[in-house]
Amino acid sequence: MRFLDIVLIIISSAGLLHGVLFALYLIVFKKKKGLSSLLLGLILIFMAFRIGKSVMLNFGDGLEPVFIFIGLAFLLIIGPLLRWYVLSMTRPDFKLPRYYLLELAPFILFFMASLFVTKDWYSNSKWVIIIFSSGLIFIYLHFATYIAMAWRIFRLAKKKHQKAPMTKSQKAVFNWLKPLLIGFVVIWWSYVLNILDEAVPYVIGPIMYSLVIYYLSYKAFQLKATDMDGHVFKPNNDHQLFEALSKLMVDNKLYLEPDLSLTKLSKMLGKSTQQISLVINQCAQRNFNDYINYYRIQDAKALLSDPENEKYTISSIAFDMGFSSLSSFNTAFKKFEGTTPSAYRKKMK
Protein backbone atom coordinates (compact mmCIF):
# COMPACT_ATOMS: atom_id res chain seq x y z
CA MET A 1 0.00 0.00 0.00
CA ARG A 2 1.33 3.43 -0.92
CA PHE A 3 2.26 5.95 1.78
CA LEU A 4 -0.37 8.38 0.44
CA ASP A 5 -3.06 5.72 0.82
CA ILE A 6 -2.02 5.16 4.43
CA VAL A 7 -2.26 8.89 5.14
CA LEU A 8 -5.70 9.09 3.52
CA ILE A 9 -6.93 6.09 5.52
CA ILE A 10 -5.73 7.71 8.76
CA ILE A 11 -7.41 11.02 7.94
CA SER A 12 -10.67 9.36 6.91
CA SER A 13 -10.76 6.94 9.83
CA ALA A 14 -9.85 9.62 12.39
CA GLY A 15 -12.92 11.66 11.49
CA LEU A 16 -15.08 8.53 11.55
CA LEU A 17 -13.78 7.53 15.00
CA HIS A 18 -14.21 11.07 16.31
CA GLY A 19 -17.82 11.09 15.14
CA VAL A 20 -18.52 7.77 16.88
CA LEU A 21 -16.96 8.99 20.16
CA PHE A 22 -18.99 12.22 19.94
CA ALA A 23 -22.13 10.12 19.42
CA LEU A 24 -21.34 7.88 22.40
CA TYR A 25 -20.92 10.95 24.58
CA LEU A 26 -24.32 12.28 23.51
CA ILE A 27 -26.20 8.99 23.83
CA VAL A 28 -24.45 7.26 26.74
CA PHE A 29 -22.19 9.50 28.82
CA LYS A 30 -23.89 12.90 28.72
CA LYS A 31 -25.49 13.64 32.11
CA LYS A 32 -28.54 15.50 30.86
CA LYS A 33 -29.81 13.58 27.86
CA GLY A 34 -32.77 14.75 25.84
CA LEU A 35 -34.38 14.07 22.48
CA SER A 36 -32.04 16.46 20.68
CA SER A 37 -28.93 14.69 22.08
CA LEU A 38 -30.32 11.31 21.03
CA LEU A 39 -31.13 12.51 17.51
CA LEU A 40 -27.72 14.09 16.97
CA GLY A 41 -26.01 11.00 18.33
CA LEU A 42 -27.97 8.75 15.95
CA ILE A 43 -27.11 11.02 13.02
CA LEU A 44 -23.42 10.66 13.85
CA ILE A 45 -23.70 6.88 14.27
CA PHE A 46 -25.41 6.37 10.90
CA MET A 47 -23.01 8.80 9.22
CA ALA A 48 -20.16 6.69 10.62
CA PHE A 49 -21.64 3.57 8.99
CA ARG A 50 -22.00 5.46 5.72
CA ILE A 51 -18.46 6.84 5.83
CA GLY A 52 -17.08 3.48 6.94
CA LYS A 53 -18.54 1.88 3.82
CA SER A 54 -16.82 4.49 1.68
CA VAL A 55 -13.44 3.93 3.35
CA MET A 56 -13.68 0.15 2.94
CA LEU A 57 -14.85 0.45 -0.67
CA ASN A 58 -12.02 2.83 -1.56
CA PHE A 59 -9.19 0.98 0.15
CA GLY A 60 -10.50 -2.56 0.55
CA ASP A 61 -10.59 -5.44 -1.89
CA GLY A 62 -13.83 -6.99 -3.05
CA LEU A 63 -16.30 -5.38 -0.66
CA GLU A 64 -19.50 -7.44 -0.63
CA PRO A 65 -22.31 -5.75 -2.64
CA VAL A 66 -24.69 -6.12 0.31
CA PHE A 67 -22.52 -3.70 2.31
CA ILE A 68 -22.46 -1.21 -0.57
CA PHE A 69 -26.26 -1.12 -0.69
CA ILE A 70 -26.64 -1.01 3.09
CA GLY A 71 -24.19 1.90 3.25
CA LEU A 72 -26.30 3.83 0.76
CA ALA A 73 -29.46 2.96 2.70
CA PHE A 74 -28.20 4.83 5.76
CA LEU A 75 -28.56 8.14 3.91
CA LEU A 76 -32.31 7.49 3.86
CA ILE A 77 -32.46 7.60 7.65
CA ILE A 78 -30.02 10.48 8.19
CA GLY A 79 -32.28 12.92 6.32
CA PRO A 80 -35.36 12.45 8.57
CA LEU A 81 -33.17 12.45 11.69
CA LEU A 82 -31.65 15.76 10.62
CA ARG A 83 -35.08 17.34 10.11
CA TRP A 84 -36.28 16.09 13.49
CA TYR A 85 -33.10 17.34 15.16
CA VAL A 86 -33.57 20.88 13.81
CA LEU A 87 -37.19 20.79 15.01
CA SER A 88 -36.07 19.67 18.48
CA MET A 89 -33.59 22.55 18.62
CA THR A 90 -35.99 25.28 17.50
CA ARG A 91 -39.32 24.29 19.07
CA PRO A 92 -39.95 24.24 22.82
CA ASP A 93 -41.38 21.00 24.21
CA PHE A 94 -40.93 19.23 20.85
CA LYS A 95 -41.98 15.59 20.98
CA LEU A 96 -41.58 13.14 18.13
CA PRO A 97 -45.07 12.22 16.85
CA ARG A 98 -45.51 8.57 16.01
CA TYR A 99 -46.60 9.33 12.46
CA TYR A 100 -43.17 10.89 11.84
CA LEU A 101 -41.82 7.34 11.89
CA LEU A 102 -43.49 6.82 8.51
CA GLU A 103 -40.64 8.90 7.10
CA LEU A 104 -38.38 5.94 7.83
CA ALA A 105 -40.27 3.72 5.36
CA PRO A 106 -37.85 4.34 2.42
CA PHE A 107 -34.90 3.41 4.64
CA ILE A 108 -36.56 0.24 5.95
CA LEU A 109 -37.58 -0.91 2.46
CA PHE A 110 -34.19 -0.19 0.90
CA PHE A 111 -32.34 -1.74 3.84
CA MET A 112 -34.42 -4.93 3.69
CA ALA A 113 -33.95 -5.16 -0.08
CA SER A 114 -30.18 -4.71 0.39
CA LEU A 115 -30.00 -7.89 2.47
CA PHE A 116 -31.00 -9.92 -0.60
CA VAL A 117 -28.25 -8.51 -2.84
CA THR A 118 -25.80 -11.28 -3.73
CA LYS A 119 -22.38 -11.08 -5.33
CA ASP A 120 -23.56 -13.22 -8.23
CA TRP A 121 -26.54 -11.00 -8.96
CA TYR A 122 -24.41 -7.88 -8.61
CA SER A 123 -21.81 -9.22 -11.05
CA ASN A 124 -24.05 -10.84 -13.66
CA SER A 125 -27.52 -9.31 -13.67
CA LYS A 126 -28.30 -6.99 -16.57
CA TRP A 127 -30.58 -4.99 -14.26
CA VAL A 128 -27.81 -3.97 -11.84
CA ILE A 129 -26.86 -0.73 -13.59
CA ILE A 130 -30.48 0.40 -13.92
CA ILE A 131 -31.43 -0.51 -10.33
CA PHE A 132 -28.22 0.85 -8.82
CA SER A 133 -28.38 4.14 -10.79
CA SER A 134 -32.07 4.65 -10.01
CA GLY A 135 -31.49 3.91 -6.33
CA LEU A 136 -28.52 6.25 -6.21
CA ILE A 137 -30.46 9.13 -7.76
CA PHE A 138 -33.42 8.57 -5.44
CA ILE A 139 -31.22 8.40 -2.33
CA TYR A 140 -29.29 11.57 -3.05
CA LEU A 141 -32.44 13.49 -4.03
CA HIS A 142 -34.12 12.20 -0.86
CA PHE A 143 -31.15 13.38 1.25
CA ALA A 144 -31.06 16.77 -0.52
CA THR A 145 -34.81 17.22 0.05
CA TYR A 146 -34.46 16.63 3.78
CA ILE A 147 -31.49 18.99 4.04
CA ALA A 148 -33.62 21.63 2.29
CA MET A 149 -36.52 20.93 4.68
CA ALA A 150 -34.24 21.24 7.69
CA TRP A 151 -32.83 24.48 6.30
CA ARG A 152 -36.35 25.87 5.83
CA ILE A 153 -37.25 25.04 9.44
CA PHE A 154 -34.08 26.81 10.56
CA ARG A 155 -34.78 29.92 8.47
CA LEU A 156 -38.42 30.20 9.56
CA ALA A 157 -37.49 29.81 13.23
CA LYS A 158 -34.76 32.44 12.95
CA LYS A 159 -37.09 34.86 11.17
CA LYS A 160 -39.75 34.34 13.84
CA HIS A 161 -37.44 35.00 16.76
CA GLN A 162 -35.65 37.95 15.14
CA LYS A 163 -38.79 40.01 15.72
CA ALA A 164 -37.82 40.29 19.40
CA PRO A 165 -34.39 40.57 21.06
CA MET A 166 -32.88 37.10 21.30
CA THR A 167 -31.16 35.72 24.36
CA LYS A 168 -27.58 34.48 24.34
CA SER A 169 -28.76 30.85 24.30
CA GLN A 170 -31.17 31.44 21.42
CA LYS A 171 -28.42 33.03 19.33
CA ALA A 172 -26.12 30.13 20.19
CA VAL A 173 -28.67 27.62 18.84
CA PHE A 174 -28.90 29.45 15.51
CA ASN A 175 -25.11 29.90 15.37
CA TRP A 176 -24.80 26.12 15.82
CA LEU A 177 -27.48 24.98 13.40
CA LYS A 178 -26.21 27.09 10.49
CA PRO A 179 -22.74 25.50 10.24
CA LEU A 180 -24.30 22.09 10.94
CA LEU A 181 -26.59 22.39 7.93
CA ILE A 182 -23.81 23.85 5.77
CA GLY A 183 -21.67 20.88 6.80
CA PHE A 184 -24.32 18.45 5.56
CA VAL A 185 -24.55 20.36 2.28
CA VAL A 186 -20.77 20.00 1.89
CA ILE A 187 -20.94 16.26 2.65
CA TRP A 188 -23.86 15.77 0.25
CA TRP A 189 -22.10 17.67 -2.52
CA SER A 190 -18.84 15.76 -2.05
CA TYR A 191 -20.69 12.45 -2.47
CA VAL A 192 -22.59 13.69 -5.50
CA LEU A 193 -19.24 14.60 -7.04
CA ASN A 194 -18.08 11.06 -6.26
CA ILE A 195 -20.51 9.86 -8.93
CA LEU A 196 -18.12 11.54 -11.38
CA ASP A 197 -15.60 8.88 -10.39
CA GLU A 198 -12.96 9.81 -12.91
CA ALA A 199 -13.04 13.50 -12.05
CA VAL A 200 -13.27 13.36 -8.23
CA PRO A 201 -11.55 10.67 -6.11
CA TYR A 202 -14.00 8.61 -4.05
CA VAL A 203 -11.96 9.24 -0.90
CA ILE A 204 -12.91 12.93 -1.02
CA GLY A 205 -16.22 12.08 0.68
CA PRO A 206 -14.67 10.59 3.86
CA ILE A 207 -12.04 13.34 3.99
CA MET A 208 -14.66 16.08 3.76
CA TYR A 209 -16.65 14.33 6.49
CA SER A 210 -13.58 14.30 8.74
CA LEU A 211 -13.01 18.02 8.23
CA VAL A 212 -16.69 18.81 8.83
CA ILE A 213 -17.00 16.68 11.98
CA TYR A 214 -13.91 18.22 13.57
CA TYR A 215 -15.15 21.73 12.84
CA LEU A 216 -18.65 20.95 14.13
CA SER A 217 -17.21 19.43 17.30
CA TYR A 218 -15.29 22.64 17.88
CA LYS A 219 -18.42 24.76 17.30
CA ALA A 220 -20.50 22.54 19.60
CA PHE A 221 -17.91 22.95 22.36
CA GLN A 222 -17.54 26.69 21.75
CA LEU A 223 -21.29 27.38 21.77
CA LYS A 224 -22.18 24.67 24.34
CA ALA A 225 -24.74 23.54 21.77
CA THR A 226 -25.11 20.04 23.20
CA ASP A 227 -26.43 21.55 26.45
CA MET A 228 -29.27 23.32 24.64
CA ASP A 229 -32.46 22.41 22.86
CA GLY A 230 -35.79 23.98 21.95
CA HIS A 231 -36.47 24.87 25.59
CA VAL A 232 -34.40 28.04 25.12
CA PHE A 233 -37.31 29.32 22.98
CA LYS A 234 -39.89 28.61 25.65
CA PRO A 235 -41.95 31.77 26.37
CA ASN A 236 -41.05 33.40 29.69
CA ASN A 237 -40.93 36.80 31.35
CA ASP A 238 -37.21 37.37 30.87
CA HIS A 239 -37.65 40.09 28.27
CA GLN A 240 -40.27 41.90 30.34
CA LEU A 241 -38.00 41.73 33.39
CA PHE A 242 -35.05 43.01 31.38
CA GLU A 243 -37.10 45.89 29.99
CA ALA A 244 -38.23 46.80 33.51
CA LEU A 245 -34.63 46.63 34.69
CA SER A 246 -33.37 48.79 31.81
CA LYS A 247 -36.11 51.38 32.36
CA LEU A 248 -35.30 51.56 36.05
CA MET A 249 -31.61 51.86 35.27
CA VAL A 250 -32.00 54.66 32.71
CA ASP A 251 -34.83 56.66 34.30
CA ASN A 252 -33.19 56.77 37.72
CA LYS A 253 -29.57 56.68 36.52
CA LEU A 254 -28.89 53.95 39.04
CA TYR A 255 -25.62 53.11 37.29
CA LEU A 256 -24.09 56.28 38.72
CA GLU A 257 -24.31 54.86 42.23
CA PRO A 258 -20.86 53.53 43.30
CA ASP A 259 -22.38 50.89 45.60
CA LEU A 260 -24.96 49.55 43.12
CA SER A 261 -25.21 45.75 43.43
CA LEU A 262 -27.29 42.81 42.31
CA THR A 263 -28.76 42.59 45.80
CA LYS A 264 -30.00 46.18 45.65
CA LEU A 265 -31.53 45.67 42.19
CA SER A 266 -33.19 42.41 43.23
CA LYS A 267 -34.87 44.17 46.15
CA MET A 268 -36.09 47.01 43.92
CA LEU A 269 -37.55 44.59 41.35
CA GLY A 270 -38.74 41.93 43.77
CA LYS A 271 -36.68 39.20 42.08
CA SER A 272 -33.82 37.01 43.22
CA THR A 273 -30.22 37.99 42.49
CA GLN A 274 -29.90 34.80 40.41
CA GLN A 275 -32.83 35.86 38.20
CA ILE A 276 -31.43 39.37 37.72
CA SER A 277 -27.97 38.03 36.90
CA LEU A 278 -29.33 35.44 34.44
CA VAL A 279 -31.55 37.98 32.65
CA ILE A 280 -28.65 40.42 32.26
CA ASN A 281 -26.41 37.65 30.96
CA GLN A 282 -29.00 36.35 28.48
CA CYS A 283 -30.57 39.59 27.26
CA ALA A 284 -27.69 42.08 27.51
CA GLN A 285 -25.12 39.34 26.82
CA ARG A 286 -22.88 40.89 29.45
CA ASN A 287 -22.16 40.20 33.09
CA PHE A 288 -23.48 42.57 35.76
CA ASN A 289 -20.35 44.73 35.97
CA ASP A 290 -20.10 45.18 32.20
CA TYR A 291 -23.83 45.95 32.03
CA ILE A 292 -23.46 48.77 34.58
CA ASN A 293 -20.18 50.03 33.14
CA TYR A 294 -21.65 50.26 29.66
CA TYR A 295 -24.13 52.90 30.82
CA ARG A 296 -21.41 54.72 32.74
CA ILE A 297 -19.11 54.85 29.74
CA GLN A 298 -21.88 56.24 27.51
CA ASP A 299 -22.38 59.14 29.94
CA ALA A 300 -18.62 59.62 30.27
CA LYS A 301 -18.27 59.86 26.48
CA ALA A 302 -20.86 62.62 26.38
CA LEU A 303 -18.96 64.59 29.04
CA LEU A 304 -15.55 64.02 27.43
CA SER A 305 -16.74 65.12 23.99
CA ASP A 306 -18.26 68.40 25.26
CA PRO A 307 -15.71 71.30 25.12
CA GLU A 308 -17.48 72.99 28.03
CA ASN A 309 -16.36 70.16 30.29
CA GLU A 310 -12.64 70.75 29.73
CA LYS A 311 -12.44 72.14 33.26
CA TYR A 312 -13.27 68.70 34.68
CA THR A 313 -10.42 66.25 35.08
CA ILE A 314 -10.75 62.68 33.90
CA SER A 315 -10.50 61.56 37.52
CA SER A 316 -13.47 63.70 38.56
CA ILE A 317 -15.52 62.35 35.63
CA ALA A 318 -14.59 58.80 36.61
CA PHE A 319 -15.81 59.29 40.17
CA ASP A 320 -18.95 61.09 39.01
CA MET A 321 -19.75 58.07 36.82
CA GLY A 322 -19.68 55.78 39.85
CA PHE A 323 -16.21 54.27 39.40
CA SER A 324 -14.24 53.64 42.57
CA SER A 325 -10.87 54.43 40.98
CA LEU A 326 -9.32 56.02 37.90
CA SER A 327 -7.70 52.75 36.88
CA SER A 328 -11.04 50.89 36.83
CA PHE A 329 -12.51 53.71 34.72
CA ASN A 330 -9.61 53.55 32.26
CA THR A 331 -9.92 49.76 32.01
CA ALA A 332 -13.68 49.86 31.40
CA PHE A 333 -13.42 52.72 28.91
CA LYS A 334 -10.76 50.95 26.87
CA LYS A 335 -12.77 47.73 26.94
CA PHE A 336 -15.81 49.37 25.34
CA GLU A 337 -14.16 52.04 23.18
CA GLY A 338 -10.76 50.56 22.39
CA THR A 339 -8.97 53.69 23.60
CA THR A 340 -8.25 55.60 26.81
CA PRO A 341 -10.47 58.45 28.11
CA SER A 342 -7.70 61.01 27.56
CA ALA A 343 -7.11 59.86 23.99
CA TYR A 344 -10.87 59.96 23.35
CA ARG A 345 -11.08 63.54 24.70
CA LYS A 346 -8.24 64.68 22.42
CA LYS A 347 -9.87 62.97 19.45
CA MET A 348 -13.18 64.74 20.05
CA LYS A 349 -11.65 68.27 20.21
Quick: pLDDT tens for 31-59: 888 999 999 999 999 988 887 777 666 66
Tell me the per-residue pLDDT of 128-149, one tens digit each, with 9 for 90 and over.
788 878 888 899 999 999 999 9
At residue 63, φ and ψ (nearest 5 deg) are -65, 130
Q: Residue 242's Cα: distance from chain center in Å?
A: 25
The closest alpha carbon to 88, from 264, 213, 231, belongs to 231
- Torsion angle of the four alpha carbons 321, 326, 329, 331, in this order, in degrees rounded to the nearest 10: 180
Using the Cα atoms of residue 262, residue 265, residue 269 and residue 270 in order, give the sign of their dihedral. positive
Tell me the per-residue pLDDT of 69-120, one tens digit each, with 9 for 90 and over.
888 899 999 999 999 999 999 999 899 999 999 999 999 999 998 888 887 7
Tell me the per-residue pLDDT of 223-272, one tens digit each, with 9 for 90 and over.
999 999 998 888 767 778 888 888 888 888 999 998 888 998 888 888 88
> Over 60: is that where the pLDDT of 60 sits?
no
pTM for this one?
0.74
- Helix axis angle, 288-304 relative to 326-337, nearest 10°? 90
> Over 70: is that where the pLDDT of 3 sits?
no
- Torsion angle of the four alpha carbons 33, 39, 43, 48, in this order, in degrees rounded to the nearest 10: 30
Helices (runs of H) and strands (runs of E) counted in the chain: 16, 0
Query: For residues 27 and 41, is the Cβ–Cβ distance under 8 A?
Result: yes
The domains of the chain, with CATH numbers, are 3-233 (1.20.1070), 238-347 (1.10.10.60)
Q: Distance (Å, rounded) from C-alpha 93 to C-alpha 149? A: 20
Tell me the per-residue pLDDT of 198-217, one tens digit each, with 9 for 90 and over.
566 667 777 888 889 899 99
What pLDDT is stored for residue 331 in this prediction?
93
